Structure 1
Amino acid sequence: MSIPLRCALLGYGYAGKTFHAPLIAAEPGLQLAAVLSSDAARVHADFAGMPVTRDADALFADPALDLVVIDTPNDLHAPLARAALLAGKHVVVDKPFTLTLAEARELAALAAAHGLVLSVFQNRRFDGDFLALRELLAAGTLGQLVQLDSHFDRFRPEVRDRWRERDIPGGGLWYDLAPHLLDQTLCLFGLPASITARIATLRPGGAACDWWQARLDYGAHQVCLQASMIAAGPMQRFAAFGTAGAWFKSGLDMQEDRLRAGGGPRDAGFGLDTIAPRLHLGDDAVGTAQPEPVGDYARYYAGIAQAVAAMKAGDAARAAALNPVRPAEAVALMALLEAGLQSSAEGRVIVPALTDAERAALG
């Protein structure tokens, strides 16, 4: 039996507590060995006796640590990832990867130069509804796709005093939720020809973006994305339209709710989404219920454990193949994020600023 890779979690806010810590703890190939936090009591309530420190440099200097997972405010992602890579640690960064395309390129080059695994935590690749949509499109059930609508809406009309809702670098809904929807779109279709975005602050008293829409042009089909903090009622998560029919899915994948309630990926039915999609073929207005989707967030850290083990064994090609989110994909996503910001600011269509080599690496 192989020895689990020792992992340090930098940050124990909502995402660290809800996603990273329980998913790392459930992965046999990883051991959560230390946490960077200013609130040791919060960590110890979940992991009694866990070493907790406020000194990131001390963690980076620990030769026993293999992997660093960064879940801090967004503006700290790049500097902490840079320091960890320079210290010889494999790195996972929560989304968004960085705040700029230049930072993303720097970190990707640094990881490659030092022979280290670098990945971005994109758990929504393993949402049940997204996996079901991916299978549906691959099967050609809808004929030729002409339009995909993807929403991630919430109803939070009151502005809260937290860093995600402040007008600071990396704050606002564009950096919070656009990485999810853009990453899913990249997984399905690759890089679009262009992006047109509108980013706004609509809530009274709001300081940061709390609403956005983006259209990605793929020529033969269009992708329309939206996130809002002021959308009451049931959320239409996906609507896919093709020449043979349409597919609709409402509600959000339930794995986050189960993790927040203290569940884990080893629990029976953990990944089951009880809201079934509906498929409409031809002009059938009623449609038929499809199988309930099953998500699997555990796949992310299973892939990370395998990728780091392969890199430590000297097999860089295998490590790259096992990495759930490759640096090239993370760089492409940052290009789309920047292009969306530019599009909204200038009111025009923007082509993502990737080089030919970066486009080839994306595949």
Structure 2
Amino acid sequence: MKTPILNVGLVGFGMSSQVFHAPLIQATPGLELSCVVSGDPDKVQRAMPEVEMVAKAAELYARADIDLVVIATPNATHYPLAKAALAAGKHVVVDKPFTISLSEARLLKQQAEEAERTLCVFHNRRWDSDFLTLKGVMEEGTLGRVVAMESRFDRFRPDVPDRWRERRGPGAGLWYDLGPHLLDQARELFGMPRAILLDIATRRDGAEVDDDFLALLDYNGVRVSLSAATLAAEPTPRFRVHGTRGSFVKFGLDPQEARLKAGETPSPQWGDDPLMARLTLADGEGNPGEPRELRCQPGDYLAFYSGVAEHLVHATPPPVDIDGALEVMALLESGLDSYRQGRWVKL
């Protein structure tokens, strides 16, 4: 039986679309990238001459042949663009963060349910190689009872680029950029915390918005620390997790983003991570044993769009549950409340 083809319209053609959405959509069986909405036709033509382009989202939404709309635009536009797409009867994928407020996200969920349309958020870091590996280690009980996790996205980018994420405005800054990734992964591993404490800062010369943050999540018996920085030249661990039976440490980022930026096409084994994780487990006498290297599971960003296609055609569960995406928005918003009030905020 021939697999149905779903026509996809992509709204926006910035970095997120060019690096993630367009190549992943084009590599997913059952999906056809049919049209791109962009105000820069030359850029789209150079990158994808075979794909049609329109200047306005309304032109895309009016097309009867478009089944799925993917919104990869500045954060503050997610809500109005998704609202209009749902009103036009389209299924919708929204890049993270879902919206810039929890109230907007809830309204979109309600609208999607009333329209009987699928609404899904692109939390692709659930398919990072290191995260998949850590999740498996924890599910197997290798570390015993986990008592602490440190998860970091550190970079060294002292020069402030001229782009919307770096300019003052709703949804700008590092907390809304990398915070959703870290919060979603923590929520996937431990569920919702009891409380959150956030500190954000502006560190770089000439920076207008936050470019550094530290968030602490309060779980029963587990301390979770999430942080990101733009002035970290020395490599720091991506994950450091401690339990009653040992520790898991991983340096280096999942390689999929770098490979997409280099123009590689997703394929089998494409998500292999050349960097090993390190396990240090207790010996028979309760002392730390010799550290051993652990090969990471292959990352698989294609799983998101493959899951979307399967969901739309065969009614399987969506790859990212909308209630989970709402919980990430609750954490983002509660974190900002914590920073403004200078205290822990209970959830």
TM over 0.5: yes
1:347 to 339, 342, 345: 342
1:324 to 305, 319, 323: 319
Q: Does structure 1 conserve the Cα–Cα contact (< 8 Å) formed by 2:281 and 2:290?
A: no
Match of residue 281 from structure 2: 281
- Alpha-carbon offset, residue 189 of structure 1: 1.1
Match of residue 53 from structure 1: 54
1 CA distance for matches of 2:169 and 2:259? 31
Q: C-alpha deviations, 1:306-325, integer Å up to 9, x for none? A: 11223xxxxxxx44x2x111
Q: Does structure 1 conserve the Cα–Cα contact (< 8 Å) formed by 2:4 and 2:313?
A: no
Q: SS where residue 308 of structure 2 aligns? A: helix
Match of residue 185 from structure 1: 186
Q: Does structure 2 conserve the Cα–Cα contact (< 8 Å) formed by 1:199 and 1:212?
A: yes
2 CA distance for matches of 1:292 and 1:329? 25
TM alignment of 1:220-231, pairs within 5 A: 220-231=221-232
TM-score, length basis structure 2: 0.96
1 CA distance for matches of 2:290 and 2:53? 55
- Alpha-carbon offset, residue 291 of structure 1: 1.6
Match of residue 205 from structure 1: 206
- Alpha-carbon offset, residue 69 of structure 1: 0.2
Q: SS where residue 223 of structure 1 aligns? A: strand
Deviates more, 1:44-53 or 1:252-261: 44-53
Match of residue 302 from structure 1: 306
RMSD, matched Cα: 1.1
1 CA distance for matches of 2:200 and 2:109? 28
Q: C-alpha deviations, 1:285-340, integer Å up to 9, x for none? A: 75000123310011000000111223xxxxxxx44x2x111111111111000000
TM alignment of 1:32-181, pairs within 5 A: 32-181=33-182
Match of residue 246 from structure 2: 245
2 CA distance for matches of 1:54 and 1:117? 25
Q: SS where residue 241 of structure 2 aligns? A: strand
**Does residue 1:336 correspond to 2:336, yes or no?**
no
Q: C-alpha deviations, 1:234-256, integer Å up to 9, x for none? A: 13100000011101000000001
TM-score, length basis structure 1: 0.92
2 CA distance for matches of 1:344 and 1:334? 16
Deviates more, 1:225-234 or 1:127-136: 225-234
% identical aligned pairs: 47
Alignment: residue pair count:
342
> What amino acid is the match of 2:312?
V
Q: Does structure 1 conserve the Cα–Cα contact (< 8 Å) formed by 2:7 and 2:32?
A: yes
Gaps of 5+ in 1: 311-317, 353-363
Q: SS where residue 224 of structure 1 aligns? A: strand
1 CA distance for matches of 2:220 and 2:157? 35
Q: SS where residue 238 of structure 1 aligns? A: strand
Match of residue 218 from structure 1: 219
Q: Does structure 2 conserve the Cα–Cα contact (< 8 Å) formed by 1:108 and 1:327?
A: yes
Q: Does structure 2 conserve the Cα–Cα contact (< 8 Å) formed by 1:154 and 1:231?
A: yes
1 CA distance for matches of 2:322 and 2:346? 20
2 CA distance for matches of 1:175 and 1:56? 24
Q: Does structure 2 conserve the Cα–Cα contact (< 8 Å) formed by 1:274 and 1:293?
A: no
> What amino acid is the match of 2:70?
V
- Alpha-carbon offset, residue 6 of structure 1: 0.3
2 CA distance for matches of 1:136 and 1:249? 12
- Alpha-carbon offset, residue 3 of structure 1: 2.6
Q: SS where residue 86 of structure 2 aligns? A: helix
Structure 1 residues 285 and 206: alpha-carbon distance in aligned structure 2, compared to 1, 3 A threshold: farther
- Alpha-carbon offset, residue 342 of structure 1: 0.5
Gaps of 5+ in 2: none
Q: C-alpha deviations, 1:130-177, integer Å up to 9, x for none? A: 000000000111111000000011101111211111111111000000
Q: Does structure 1 conserve the Cα–Cα contact (< 8 Å) formed by 2:275 and 2:295?
A: no
